[in-house]
Amino acid sequence: MLAIALSGLMTGTVQPAFAQSEPAPDPVKTLVERLDLEKYKATVKGLTQFGDRRQGTDRNRAAVDWIEAQLKSYGCPTDRIKYVYDPSPANPGGGRGRGNTGLAQGGGKPRGIRTPTGVNTDPMKQPDEKLRALNMQPTTPGPREAAYCTKVGTTHPEEMYIVSAHMDGHGWGEAANDDGSGTALVMELARVFSGPDVQTERTIRFALWNNEETGSQAARAYIALRQELQGMENPPGSGKYPEPRWLGMIQHDMMMFDHGMPRADGTISKEQRPEADVNIEFQVSSKMAAESQKLAWVFEVANEKYATDYPASVGSHMTNTDSGPFQDLIPAISLRENERGVHIGSGWDPQWHQPTDVFTTYNDQDFRLGLNAAQTTLGAVAGLTGATLKR
């Protein structure tokens, strides 16, 4: 190369000693760009055909079947976690959960204007007669199922991140935001990561929990049934790990509504606030607080790099969602629209567990906040799992 350069000097035709190459395209950016607002909205809309998807009902079971069918259509191999939910007082281990008592401790100190909040149990507050009829069947105890699918890693299939949301709801609406918005987000990530040209070094499991509204029974059952199986090769020597070792758990619960604090008269703006953000929470009192905080910062950095519209903020009071059962076991975080224990618990989302949590309540600004959360998680998980594109 030096001789070529000297020859150029002598002949008066100087050429660059080293060719300038184009920087390699960022595969993570390419994957994030495969997320689409209309696809996200369509997936939320698809979930709302089953009403509020209350656990222990035919509409809930039909929704689980539909979710599994969609995951299969993406090319993501599916399975189910099976358990029994018995909330009777005679079976305290069966999971009575938090019921309708509101938010548990760990959610931070309430501040600002507060409005009443809770779970609607009156069917007549749902003005849509067709939706009211769809949601009429009551819940009954018994067997429960939750669907998940898995992207198997190429070089470290024995290590795994869990990306999840809960698919059940209640309140006599369509559970569009709580938690159709999170379920659709996870399903859209499963679609993108299951692309035929996508490979990851580590495994990703996309879980759509059931029974979150009663105390995260599906997530707790998953831990009880599968925690001891982590990292076990089965059959031995096969290179297959039915339950890879858990590296982190990322939950998504209510992704779309950040309209700000209630006004003095208790009303809330109908428009998304310009300073809306994606809240990334960990639980500061958990045994894995330091590791969970580090994971949260990874997601904040991914938001800075890949989210198109809304920034992220990191908070330390994760509570009342399916990442809770994991928080003392592995790094665990939750993405959402507001601070769970402070904002939502103070009535900042008037649709929470109400008949108004229907698809038509939300506009494109709301849906775009959910899409930005999807961009954040996809960017972070793609980096954590070593995602690349085949040539």
Condensed to tens digits (0 to 9), the pLDDT of residues 50-80 reads: 999 999 999 999 999 999 999 999 999 999 9
pLDDT confidence bin for 14, thresholds 50/70/90: very low
Rounded distance, CA 368 to CA 276, Å? 11
Task: Determine contact, residues 278/299, Cβ cutoff 8 Å.
Answer: no
Tell me the average pLDDT across 295-319.
97
**pLDDT over 50 (residue 43):** yes
Rounded distance, CA 230 to CA 243, Å? 5
**pLDDT over 70 (residue 281):** yes
pLDDT digits (tens, 9 = 90+) for 313-364: 999 999 999 999 999 999 999 999 999 889 999 999 999 999 999 999 999 9
Tell me the CA end-to-end span of the chain in Å, nearest whole number: 30
pTM: predicted TM-score of the whole model, two decimal places: 0.92
pLDDT confidence bin for 3, thresholds 50/70/90: very low
Task: Determine contact, residues 117/352, Cβ cutoff 8 Å.
Answer: yes
> E strand or H helix at 373, and its extent?
helix 364-385
Of the chain, the percentage scoring pLDDT greater than 70 comes to 91
Tokens of 277: 């953000």
pLDDT confidence bin for 2, thresholds 50/70/90: very low
Angle at 169 between CA 164 and CA 174, to 5 degrees: 115
**pLDDT over 50 (residue 99):** no
Class of domain 32-97+117-389 as given by CATH: alpha beta
Number of other CB atoms surrounding residue 34 within 10 Å? 14
**pLDDT over 50 (residue 6):** no
> Average pLDDT of the chain?
92
Confidence (pLDDT) at 27:
97
Q: Please state, in angstroms and as integers, the Cα–Cα distance from residue 340 to each residue in 23, 104, 152, 279, 386, following that order.
A: 41, 10, 32, 9, 31
Tell me the average pLDDT across 1-5.
39
Domain ranges of the chain: 32-97+117-389
Give Cβ neighbours of residue 116 (< 8 Å, ≥ 6 apart).
347
Tokens of 25: 């395209």
By CB neighbour count within 10 A (0-12 exposed, 13-18 middle, 19+ buried), where does 286 fall?
buried
Rounded distance, CA 254 to CA 366, Å? 11
**pLDDT over 50 (residue 44):** yes
Rounded distance, CA 386 to CA 279, Å? 24
**pLDDT over 80 (residue 92):** no
Q: Does the bond joining 235 to the residue before it have cis omega, within 30 degrees of 0?
A: yes
Confidence (pLDDT) at 91:
60
3-state secondary structure of 279: strand
Confidence (pLDDT) at 193:
98
Task: Determine contact, residues 167/227, Cβ cutoff 8 Å.
Answer: no
Tell me the average pLDDT across 271-280.
96
Task: Determine contact, residues 223/326, Cβ cutoff 8 Å.
Answer: yes
Confidence (pLDDT) at 7:
40
Task: Determine contact, residues 74/190, Cβ cutoff 8 Å.
Answer: yes
- For residues 233-253, one letter each, b for 16 or more C-beta atoms within 10 angstroms of the residue's C-beta and e for the rest, the string is eeeeeeeebebbbbbbbbbbb
Confidence (pLDDT) at 20:
62
Confidence (pLDDT) at 244:
98
Task: Determine contact, residues 180/63, Cβ cutoff 8 Å.
Answer: no
Tell me the average pLDDT across 11-15.
47
